[in-house]
Amino acid sequence: MKTFCFTLGLLLLTVCCCNAMPKALQFNLAPGNCCFNFYPRSLPLKRVSNITKTHSSCLKQAFIVQTIKGRQICYSGTFQWALDVYNQFNTEGSSQQH
């Protein structure tokens, strides 16, 4: 009886661990949004509400610009306008926090 209870407990523990592991791995390894096509022209700065970098595991490094209307536009990580806007948003955000 002891062997049966031990085996059943070990089996239940194994099932619980195996069920939880894929969810944890999927959450930690998800790269988020990546960009594959890029917008070629700059926007008026007044139309930009936010800008973020894509995850480092994306094939192409890029910026995602969020407009005031909620649209998301991808810009190449080397597009000078996007670099300037990103730096401006980060500088403004850090100076407002101090």
One pLDDT digit (tens) per residue for the chain, 98 residues: 777 655 655 555 454 444 444 444 434 454 678 999 999 999 999 999 999 999 999 999 999 999 999 999 999 999 999 999 999 998 865 554 44
The DSSP result for 5-62, as a single string, is HHHHHHHHHHHHHHHHHHHHHHHHH------SS---S---GGGEEEEEEPPTTSSS-E
Q: Which residue matches tokens 């700065």?
A: 45
On whether both 23 and 66 belong to a single domain, the answer is no
Global pTM value = 0.63
Q: Are 39 and 72 part of one and the same domain? A: yes
| Continuous segment of H or E residues that includes residue 90 | helix 80-97
74's CB contacts (< 8 A; 6+ apart) are 35, 36, 37, 38, 39, 62, 63, 64, 65
The range of the structural domain enclosing residue 61 comes to 33-98
* Domain co-membership, 61 together with 39: yes
